[in-house]
Structure 1
Amino acid sequence: MHDFVRRLLIAPALAGAVTMLPAGLPALAQEDGVVATLNGEPITEADIAMAEADLDPQFGRLPEAQRRAAALSAVIDVRLFAAEAEKQSIDQSEDFQQRMEFLRERALHSAYIDQNVVQGITEEDLRARYEEEIAKIEPKEEVRARHILVETEEEAAEIIKQLDEGADFATIAGEKSTDGAAAQGGDLGSFTRGRMVPEFEEAAFALEPGTYSKEPVKTAFGWHVIKVEDKRMQEPPAFEQVENQIRSMLIRDRYLETVASLRGGAELDIPNEELKAAVDQMFRAQLGEPAADEGDAPQE
């Protein structure tokens, strides 16, 4: 899902410094929301919150005290560099002004999406989407299976003979299977119909739990001996399991609806026909619409 809240860069050197911090740092002193002062200017809790939100996701795994220290360190570095840049009048250059305007528009874009799209999604919306698209999914039969893959029919037949005599399936798979799952005793996990090649699927779903194929199964990969460990109906996931995914789906849909509405009411002129066609095609792809017909393409 798209991350609509764009992030500014934090000093790269910070990552190395944070790894040296002790895990048990005491809480930083706070006084009327002021965490620290730098050359007489306050650094507030709001500054820390914004910097912490912009840290690389890896910082989320750190203890809170270390995250706060990383955020404060970032604010200090940014302000010191900013002050030096102002002394050199870098902020007065045309390039800087253009960059600031872009960052301003990007921040407004993110704020608009947050206030008008993300915050507007309710639990009722989420549950309605769940009932509409997920709860009604028909249960699917799935099996959990193991297999042993060998090159010849004779090898597979010999393995079946060993299994008939009481040999352990997982042990033989580990010793003789040429498939990547051999290290896991041939375990393929659970799968529904349509996930495996037809010959393998037909044989696997015909078996009962705890049984193995009595005849070698041929596919394009070689010869298989298949054992089904379990067979059950795969029910739709519970709402709580997919709530975050549904939220992401709704955010994406509503974002695209908003973009389509805004673009539809805007006067957009792209003189370069090739670029215009590429932009149109990209936007149609975002909306999930088919590509324009050849007749719709710009004429040379």
Structure 2
Amino acid sequence: MKYRHFLAILAVSQTALFSTPLRADDMSSETVVATVNGAQITMGNLIAARGTLPEQYQTLGSEELFNGILEQMIQQEVLRQSVGEPDKALQIQMENETRAIFAGAALENIAENAVTEDAIENRYNETYANAEPSREYRAAHILVKTEEEALALIDELNEGADFADLARQKSTGPSGPNGGDLGWFGKGMMVAPFEEAVEKMDVDTISEPVQTQFGWHVIKLVETRLQDIPSLDDVREEIKSQLADAALRESVERLVSEATVERVDIAEKDAVKDDTLLAE
């Protein structure tokens, strides 16, 4: 199947056209748009194929899109006919493709039913209705290997050394070249000892040495701010994704638990790598 994308998706069709162009009012999914050695290609086939195209093709003009998809389907049909009756390997591949298509359709239905406007608003209210603005911090740090090194740095800072210069010279962390600046971060974004130390600090002060799994930190709290509660529109896509993911997990787990699944104990699992079995 590695050549499945070889066909020219947007080639201009050279096939013969119907003598009388059909109007939109005359069309349905059953409308035949071409025949290949008697095999019909319908408008429904083209519409379904369009839905599987990469996003960059979806914005093409209607005529270019129509001709490109039709040409690809004509090429696919002549190649299909050239194969004749499918061998065992192809039959198995067709079974897998059919299973995947049905599973994909089921997943889309589950997600669509779960992501309603009411569900989105309810999730937003549950998450943010009673929420208070969260505090964010901007800090810099100098990371060293030992507590002794950290204490020596604090002595230098107390004597007037520039924090950013020391970070560039002494810090072993990736923020060192940037003067130790960590930018803005909120709760849960830093490891617990670091976060707990920052929360207790006043702006423009230096911490005592703080140990984490990365080493010893000397922290400078630069500034803080309150992060406003986001509007529904700000988090709509995030909520939609959360609702869909939760519904998909729950549905798949439920359907599997309700199904009669009998797994066969296969001792020779290397067989999954044996392509010759497809011919047996």
TM-score in terms of structure 2 length:
0.63
Contact 2:131 2:229 in 1 (8 A): yes
Contact 1:14 1:74 in 2 (8 A): no
Distance 1:108 1:124, change over 3 A: same
1:108 to 2:108 alignment: no
Q: CA deviation at 1:116?
A: 5.5
Q: Identify the match of residue 242 of structure 1 among 211, 235, 257.
A: 235
For residues 10 and 245 of structure 1, what CA distance do their matches in structure 2 show? 36
Contact 2:7 2:72 in 1 (8 A): no
Stretch of structure 1 that moved more, 150-159 or 182-191 = 150-159
Q: Which residue of 1 aligns with 2:78?
A: 83
What is the SS of the residue equivalent to 1:180?
coil
Q: Which residue of 1 aligns with 2:52?
A: 54
Distance 1:131 1:173, change over 3 A: same
Same amino acid, percent of matched pairs: 31
Q: Identify the match of residue 228 of structure 1 among 214, 221, 242.
A: 221
For residues 213 and 229 of structure 2, what CA distance do their matches in structure 1 show? 32
* Deviations 1:121-173, CA, capped at 9 Å, x for gaps: 32111111222245445655442211012345554445445544554422331
Q: Which amino acid aligns with 2:172?
A: T
For residues 165 and 103 of structure 2, what CA distance do their matches in structure 1 show? 58
Q: CA deviation at 1:55?
A: 3.6
Q: Which amino acid aligns with 2:83?
A: Q
What is the SS of the residue equivalent to 2:165?
helix
For residues 109 and 221 of structure 1, what CA distance do their matches in structure 2 show? 44
Q: Which amino acid aligns with 1:83?
A: V
In structure 1, runs of 5+ residues without a counterpart are 1-7, 19-29, 276-300
* Deviations 1:27-82, CA, capped at 9 Å, x for gaps: xxx98579x979799988865654454345xx54x893499968965663453143
Contact 2:50 2:58 in 1 (8 A): no
Q: CA deviation at 1:118?
A: 0.6
Q: Which amino acid aligns with 2:116?
A: T
Contact 1:217 1:225 in 2 (8 A): yes
Count the aligned residue pairs. 248
Contact 2:110 2:248 in 1 (8 A): no
1:181 to 2:175 alignment: yes
Q: Which residue of 2 aligns with 1:143?
A: 137
Stretch of structure 1 that moved more, 217-226 or 41-50 = 41-50
* 1:58-207 alignment runs, 5 A limit: 60=56, 64-65=59-60, 73=68, 76-91=71-86, 93=87, 95-115=89-109, 117-119=111-113, 121-137=115-131, 140-153=134-147, 155-164=149-158, 166-189=160-183, 190-192=185-187, 195-198=190-193, 200-207=194-201
**Which structure is higher in RCO with an 8 Å CA cutoff and minimum separation 6?**
2
Q: Which residue of 2 aligns with 1:270?
A: 262
In structure 2, runs of 5+ residues without a counterpart are 11-20, 28-32, 268-280
Contact 2:168 2:176 in 1 (8 A): yes
What is the SS of the residue equivalent to 1:251?
helix
Contact 1:217 1:224 in 2 (8 A): yes
TM-score in terms of structure 1 length:
0.60
For residues 210 and 71 of structure 1, what CA distance do their matches in structure 2 show? 64
Q: Which amino acid aligns with 2:81?
A: E
For residues 2 and 238 of structure 2, what CA distance do their matches in structure 1 show? 27
Contact 1:208 1:228 in 2 (8 A): yes
Q: CA deviation at 1:264?
A: 6.2
Contact 1:216 1:225 in 2 (8 A): yes
Contact 1:135 1:236 in 2 (8 A): no
Distance 1:185 1:50, change over 3 A: farther
Contact 2:143 2:215 in 1 (8 A): yes
Contact 1:145 1:188 in 2 (8 A): yes
